[in-house]
Amino acid sequence: MAPRANWKGFLRLSLVTCPVALYPATSESEKISCNQLNRQTGHRIKYLKFDADTGDEVPNEDIVKGYQLEKDQFIEVTKEELEEIALESTRTIEIDEFVDKAEIDPRYLIRPYYIRPDGKVGHDAFAVIRETIREMNKVAIGRVVLTNREHIIALEPMDKGLVGTLLRYPYEVRSEQEYFDEIQDVKVTKDMLDLARHIVNQKAGSFEPEKFEDHYESALIELINQKRTGKPIVPKDRPKGENVVDLMDALRKSVGGAAAKTEAPKKPAKKTKKAAAAQKEMLMPIAGKKLAKEAAAKKPTAGTRRKSA
C-alpha cells in the first residue's frame, strides 16, 4: 500500500493546471530504532509537557506557538492565525522559472518527493507539464507550503511522474569561508596526481545503490541477537588513524593494495549450522525492518502449495 500523501493541491504552469498529490520519496522507518528505558526498572521513559513556572502538566489542546521577543516575553501565534496567512502556495505549486540542473548547488537540496496526478482528471495537463520539462532538459522551480512553512521546490521528470526536491533558502546555508580559510595552500606535484589518478581508475565503478550496505545497522542487529542468546559481547578493534610520513610512499602502497584487492578471488560463503527446531523457535534472530519487509514480499500466496520437508 502506498503511503498517504503529504500534500494535495494543484500544479500550475501559466494557465495549465492539474490536481496533484505529493508523497515522500524516502523513508527512515526500516531502520532499527531503540526506546529509552529506566535502567533501574526496565520501563520505558515517557515525556510530559509542563508549565515552566507552575510545574503543572499542560494538555496538547492548551499548547500554542509563540515568538520570543525577549526573556519571558512572547508574542502568541495561534493555529487559526497561521492558517489565515493563506499563501497561494498552500494549495498550488506555481512554476516560476526553469533553470539548468547544474546551477543548483547541492548544499540547497533537502529531501525528495514523488508527485503524481490526484484522481482521474488532469492527467493530460500533468503530462504536458512533465514532457515540457523533459524536452527542455531543465528543472522547474516552484513554491509549496509543507508543515506550515513555504519551501522552494525543484521539479524534474521521472518515468511517468515528477520528483520534487525541497530546497533551502540562502539564509539556511552557511558560508564555506569560515571553514576553509585556514586550509593551507599546498602544491601537489604531477607524480602525486598520476598515482592518485591510478588509484581512482582502479576503484572506478557505476553508481549502484543496491551495493551499499548500512554497516552500522548490520552491527546493531548482530549486537541485539547476541544479547538475546546470552553470548558475550566482545568489543571489536577500532581502526587507528596513522600520520602519513611519506605521502609518495603511501600513494605507491595504495596503488599496489588496490590492485591486489581487485584481483583477489572471492571465498565461497560458509554454510551455517542448522539449529534445533525448539531453539530456533525460542531464539529466532531479528532480521531488521528492511530485511523483514523484503522477506514478507517474497512469501508464497495462500494458494501456493509448499513441498513437504
Rounded Cα gap, residues 123 and 129, in angstroms: 10
Closest CA to 133 of 158, 152, 116: 158
Q: Could you report the per-residue pLDDT of 92-114, keeping only the tens digit for each?
A: 999 999 999 999 999 999 999 99
Percent of the chain whose predicted confidence (pLDDT) is above 70: 79
State the CB neighbour count (10 A cutoff) for residue 15.
Answer: 6
Q: Could you report the per-residue pLDDT of 173-216, keeping only the tens digit for each?
A: 999 998 999 999 989 999 989 999 998 888 888 888 888 888 88
The pairing of strands 149-158 and 16-24 is unpaired
Least trusted range by pLDDT, from 37-46, 68-77, 83-92: 83-92
Mean pLDDT score of the chain: 82
Rounded Cα gap, residues 10 and 89, in angstroms: 9
Q: Is the pLDDT of residue 36 over 50?
A: yes
Q: Is the pLDDT of residue 253 over 50?
A: yes
Q: Could you report the per-residue pLDDT of 157-166, keeping only the tens digit for each?
A: 999 999 999 9
**pLDDT at 259 (0 to 100):** 62
For the record, the C-alpha cell of 205 comes out as 565503478
Where does the pLDDT of residue 239 fall: very low under 50, low under 70, confident under 90, or very high at 90 and above?
Answer: low
What's the 3-state SS for the chain? CCCCCCEEEEEEECCEEEEEEEEECCCCCCCCCCCCECCCCCCECCCCCECCCCCCECCHHHCCEEEEEECCEEEEECHHHHHHCCCHHHCEEEEEEEECHHHCCHHHEEEEEEEEECCCCCHHHHHHHHHHHHHHCCEEEEEEEECCEEEEEEEEEECCEEEEEEECCHHHCCCCHHHHCCCCCCCCCHHHHHHHHHHHHHCCCCCCHHHCCCHHHHHHHHHHHHHHCCCCCCCCCCCCCCCCCCHHHHHHHHHHHHHHHHHCCCCCCCCCCCCCHHHHHHCCCCCHHHHHHHHHHHCCCCCCCCCCC
Q: Could you report the per-residue pLDDT of 132-141, keeping only the tens digit for each?
A: 999 999 999 9
Cβ pair 20, 115 in contact under 8 A: yes
For the record, the C-alpha cell of 194 comes out as 598520476
**pLDDT at 86 (0 to 100):** 60
Rounded Cα gap, residues 142 and 152, in angstroms: 6
Rounded Cα gap, residues 168 and 37, in angstroms: 36
Where does the pLDDT of residue 303 fall: very low under 50, low under 70, confident under 90, or very high at 90 and above?
Answer: very low
**pLDDT at 278 (0 to 100):** 37
CA angle 76, 78, 82 (to 5 degrees): 115
**pLDDT at 271 (0 to 100):** 43
Least trusted range by pLDDT, from 30-34, 180-184, 241-245, 271-275: 271-275
Which range has highest mean pLDDT (147-161, 229-243, 283-297)?
147-161
Least trusted range by pLDDT, from 52-56, 83-87, 273-277: 273-277
Q: Is the pLDDT of residue 261 over 70?
A: no
Looking at residues 110-128, what average pLDDT do you find? 95
Q: Is the pLDDT of residue 306 over 70?
A: no
Q: Which residue has better confidence, 239 or 91?
A: 91
Tell whether pTM > 0.75: no
